[in-house]
Amino acid sequence: MTIAISLRRFSASLGALVILSLGLGFVGAQSISNSHLQAARQVIAAINATDQFDIFLPRTARELKDGLMRKDPNLEKIISQTVDEQALALASRRADLEKEVARVYAKHFSENELNQITQFYNSPTGKKLLKEGPSAMADSIGAYDIWRQGISQDLVANVGKVLNEKLWAKGSSGTMPAD
C-alpha cells in the first residue's frame, strides 16, 4: 500500500510540473516558420545546448527507485524492473525537449542569426571555443580572484596611508580635516 501512495504522490507532483510546463509552452508559442525552427535545431546541435539535460531521466528513475525501495526493500527486483521499463518508455519524449529549446532559441534569435551561429560553432574555431571555453572561463575567474584580492589590499593600504597623512598633517588631533 505504501508503494501505491508514494507513486500517487510522485505522479501528482510530476503531473503538476508537466501541466505547468505545457502551459508555459503554449503561452510562449508564436508563429515560427519551419526553417526558423530548423535553424534553431542546428544551433542546439552545434553548441550541445541540451546535453546537460541528458541526465534528468536516469537520475529521476534512480531517485524513484531509491525512494520506493526504502519503503519496501523486499520488492527491489520488481521496483527496479518496473522503473527501468517505464523510464525507457519515456525516453522517446526527449525529442519534445529539443523542440521546446528550439522554440526558445527561435524566439531570441532571427533565422539569419541562428544560421550564422551554427556556421561559427561548426567551424574549427567554434569547436575549439566549445571545448576550451569552460577552461578559459575558469582561468578567467581565477585571474579575477587574484586581481580582486590585489585591488582590495591596495585600497586598504592606500586609504590607511592617506588617512594617516591627513590626520598627522592636522596635528594628531584625531579629527578629520574638512575639504
Q: Which residues of the chain have pLDDT under 70?
A: 1-30, 172-179
- The number of residues making up the chain comes to 179
pLDDT of residue 111: 98
Q: Determine the pLDDT at residue 171.
A: 74
- Please, what is the Cα angle at 24 between 50 and 99, to 5 degrees? 35
pLDDT at 37: 97
The widest CA-to-CA distance across the chain, in whole angstroms, is 86
pLDDT for the residue numbered 27: 45
| Residues 16 and 84: beta-carbon distance below 8 Å | no
In this predicted structure, what is the pLDDT of residue 6? Answer: 54
In angstroms, the CA 151 to CA 167 distance is 24
What letter would DSSP give residue 171?
T
- pLDDT given for residue 26 in this prediction: 47
> What is the predicted pLDDT for the residue at 31?
86
Tell me, what's the pLDDT at 122? 97
Phi and psi, residue 48, nearest 5°: 55, 40
Residue whose grid cell is 527561435: 106
pLDDT of residue 131: 96
CA atoms of 65 and 80, how far apart (whole Å): 6
